[in-house]
A and B are shown apart, each in its own frame.
Chain A
């Protein structure tokens, strides 16, 4: 939907902030060596690159440049696998590094898009990173052939060794990489046929595990720079409110305090020698806020506004076929249900943080970010310096889940550092600040109305969504005639988030009702609620039709072979249709998002009517090509933890314009005792590249809810389940 966006560089950099719900850019990248870059690196004793993606050291160590960030999802290893596959290097010698967004700007975006959002880390860069590896291999072979004065066609490469077949002469990548970097890059770079892959598709070990076990890995919050000071901040707890006044007298005399300052028009920060001193001082300051009109907003007033949207005349139509309303009116049986989905906070384990060093002619930032190019643009804007005088260095994130695709914390860090020129300042939020200033999962209600004919076939379906648009808030240029297509994720007529049912009369529309709460991309984005709405309602329809939930779905899935395959796979492995262990009940769901086809079959038991034990979840994904199946299995299981934590425990509620939940005591997260056994099925059917990090998250919740109905006869349509006294045990 954004392929046609014509944006200047600045607006692109800002706009890429918005990436997540399907913002896509088709890139034709030069992946070739830069003579200037090599000259500059040689001057610093750094081995020259073969091309932008590959550096080979004299000892044959291969450094693969990684444009995306690894926040735990395994992308770093997967991307390195793809480069190494084509490079034909020794995997044991592969290491990685992150180029900076400043280098990317200086080199005309040679590494493309740094944004790590929308489950795009692999699928949107697979083509050019594989070409980067293949081109490097061709150049290394050419360099060896030149040295031997033989045709390159007579040489082959494997495991970082080049062999001249007729003579048997051999050399290593490390010996010819210097010469290879000086060659012109090949114009045609053919890629391997997937059937010849040796490394892609293998569950090789992650490259980044060890430092996470010893305390050595440096996350953003751990950074230490010489002379660094520490800061913490409080922004007006009412979104959009202002800082009226504060009394700094007491804090200014407290130990270690260097400065108490206003940040923008809505926040106050303390800079101190240590973070604990900064936090203690900030807590001692009496602050007066002005929440303005927004202070009148509550969860109840938002719910009222959304409820009105469920029957509003005007709505954006995304998917329409036949005449759904007429079909439902004329149906033998009508089924209607209203669902709602709450605001959610990402609650990454590591709160937001960034370190900035400002001088009159340079501003540098060190931070965990999912969107380094946006962080750079924000650094430039907040510092008032041109982009060429700014730089962002990426540090490991303690979780991302979409939250770190926003750079609000970077702007704050730069504004604080600007008041302390020449001194690096690390801004670290408290958990409370993190909970109060998220970029929340959008709030949404849905009214679903279905008509069944006399044979129990679904003749018409109307889904009316009412609630918040992410793109209207973060990137209005991506709206299509005012409509946020991403809101319909999983309901699209076609494309990577298509509706996987064929229904003769269909209407899916959205009454956009925005709130003052800033929305964001929360792992899975809009498939979280859309899968619950549709897949629970499908169960309601099947029940009303007196049909088996699997059989009812299958009838609507002709022409959707990949979805049918994953649904069948979980049904078979989950034992659907066969007797369950005594007291166990099953539920199903499937969906499509981020290009992948996903399904789940769960088995639960319910004690005392409210204590839910999830015994197993069989989860299947067809992501087209599976680069590292072991890591995909971990993403499936991990996404279920994130999604089910939300289903059972989590919501952010608004009172007096601000969020009520401030820490894990009021916003809980699943523990190991509640963890179901996850049986992941990776079913790569080939021929396309689907996402992995997010899609499966959305099928766990509806499958559990459908199983809960099977167990208790109760349909739950508002969340989290704790509000109904239901707990996960």
Chain B
């Protein structure tokens, strides 16, 4: 039995403790905003926060997340009020297909918590998510906009 706290809510379910957190979130909890892209922590589509730190959930076993505070893309808005990162993403029309954007937004949210006014070099170091549509120009603009918001 695994006990996880996701977006402030407790969940209990029967799962092999070696199951990647990504698949527990998607299949046991049913939150599908967190995406599968590669399964080997390369692309970042599965990025969530564990105790505020961005992690690639495809490569973290459920057992390592127990007792910790997990936040997914579904948990960063306050009801209908978007987070400042989401709002900047909307204002700058960042997504194209959008599949990588949950992970991108979670990675950026963690960056801004650590560095509220990131430089371009900070962004280059911290944001390593793959986006095949190539939205990086808008991602960078929106990060700076969110930092100013």
A31 at the interface (CB under 8 A from B): no
How many angstroms between the C-alpha atoms of A276 and B23 in the bound complex? Answer: 7
- Closest-by-CB residue of B relative to A680 is B137
B68 at the interface (CB under 8 A from A): no
From known contacts A213-B105, A276-B20, A349-B99, infer whether A222 and B32 are also in contact, taking CB-CB under 8 Å.
Answer: yes
B117 at the interface (CB under 8 A from A): no
* Chain B residues within an 8 Å CB radius of A211: 98
Contact between A276 and B134 (Cβ–Cβ < 8 Å)? no
From known contacts A350-B35, A642-B132, A673-B125, infer whether A665 and B42 are also in contact, taking CB-CB under 8 Å.
Answer: yes
Contact between B93 and A206 (Cβ–Cβ < 8 Å)? yes
* Chain A residues within an 8 Å CB radius of B38: 431, 663-664
Q: For chain B residues 1-46, which have a beta carbon within 8 Å of chain A?
A: 16, 19-20, 23, 26-28, 30-40, 42-43, 45
Q: For chain A residues 603-644, which have a beta carbon within 8 Å of chain B?
A: 630, 634, 637-642
Contact between B34 and A664 (Cβ–Cβ < 8 Å)? no
How many angstroms between the C-alpha atoms of A529 and B30 in the bound complex? Answer: 43
Contact between A215 and B93 (Cβ–Cβ < 8 Å)? no
How many angstroms between the C-alpha atoms of A347 and B97 in the bound complex? Answer: 13
Contact between A640 and B42 (Cβ–Cβ < 8 Å)? no
Min C-beta distance of A347 to chain B, whole Å: 6
How many angstroms between the C-alpha atoms of A645 and B34 in the bound complex? Answer: 25
- Closest-by-CB residue of B relative to A348 is B132
User: When the two chains form the complex, which single residue of A212, A215, A217, A634 contacts B31, counting CB atoms closer than 8 Å?
Assistant: A215
Contact between A399 and B97 (Cβ–Cβ < 8 Å)? yes
From known contacts A275-B23, A663-B40, A675-B140, infer whether A398 and B93 are also in contact, taking CB-CB under 8 Å.
Answer: no
How many angstroms between the C-alpha atoms of A636 and B65 in the bound complex? Answer: 41
> How many residues from A make CB contacts under 8 Å with B?
59
How many angstroms between the C-alpha atoms of A700 and B20 in the bound complex? Answer: 39
* Chain B residues within an 8 Å CB radius of A347: 132
From known contacts A222-B32, A255-B16, A671-B130, infer whether A398 and B137 are also in contact, taking CB-CB under 8 Å.
Answer: no
User: When the two chains form the complex, which single residue of A218, A276, A349, A672 contacts B32, counting CB atoms closer than 8 Å?
Assistant: A218
Q: Is the interface of B mostly helix, strand, loop or mixed?
A: loop
How many angstroms between the C-alpha atoms of A258 and B123 in the bound complex? Answer: 45
Min C-beta distance of A249 to chain B, whole Å: 20
* Chain B residues within an 8 Å CB radius of A215: 31-34, 72-74, 102
A670 at the interface (CB under 8 A from B): yes
A430 at the interface (CB under 8 A from B): yes
> How many residues from B make CB contacts under 8 Å with A?
57
* Chain B residues within an 8 Å CB radius of A314: none
How many angstroms between the C-alpha atoms of A71 and B137 in the bound complex? Answer: 19
How many angstroms between the C-alpha atoms of A675 and B94 in the bound complex? Answer: 15
User: When the two chains form the complex, which single residue of B27, B33, B123 contacts A216, counting CB atoms closer than 8 Å?
Assistant: B33
Residue in A215, A645, A671, A678 whose Cβ sees the most chain B Cβ within 10 Å: A215
B64 at the interface (CB under 8 A from A): no
- Closest-by-CB residue of B relative to A642 is B134
Q: For chain B residues 80-111, which have a beta carbon within 8 Å of chain A?
A: 82, 86, 89-90, 93-102, 105
* Chain A residues within an 8 Å CB radius of B131: 349, 641
* Chain A residues within an 8 Å CB radius of B140: 672, 675
Min C-beta distance of B147 to chain A, whole Å: 15
* Chain A residues within an 8 Å CB radius of B27: 230, 274-276
How many angstroms between the C-alpha atoms of A73 and B99 in the bound complex? Answer: 13
Contact between A72 and B96 (Cβ–Cβ < 8 Å)? yes
* Chain A residues within an 8 Å CB radius of B19: 276
Residue in A230, A640, A672, A678 whose Cβ sees the most chain B Cβ within 10 Å: A672
User: When the two chains form the complex, which single residue of B33, B39, B124, B133 contacts A214, counting CB atoms closer than 8 Å?
Assistant: B33
Q: A216-258 interface mask toward B, CB cutoff 8 Å, 1 = contact, 0 = none?
A: 1111011010000010000000000000000000000001000
B113 at the interface (CB under 8 A from A): no
Min C-beta distance of B35 to chain A, whole Å: 7
Q: For chain A residues 271-324, which have a beta carbon within 8 Å of chain B?
A: 274-276
Query: B residues within 8 Å of A by Cβ?
Result: 16, 19-20, 23, 26-28, 30-40, 42-43, 45, 72-74, 77, 82, 86, 89-90, 93-102, 105, 123-125, 127-140
A-B pairs with lowest CB-CB distance, top 8: A215-B33, A641-B134, A398-B99, A212-B98, A72-B97, A72-B96, A638-B134, A673-B124
- Pairs A–B under 8 Å by Cβ, sample size 8: A72-B98, A72-B133, A74-B96, A214-B73, A215-B32, A398-B97, A634-B135, A637-B134
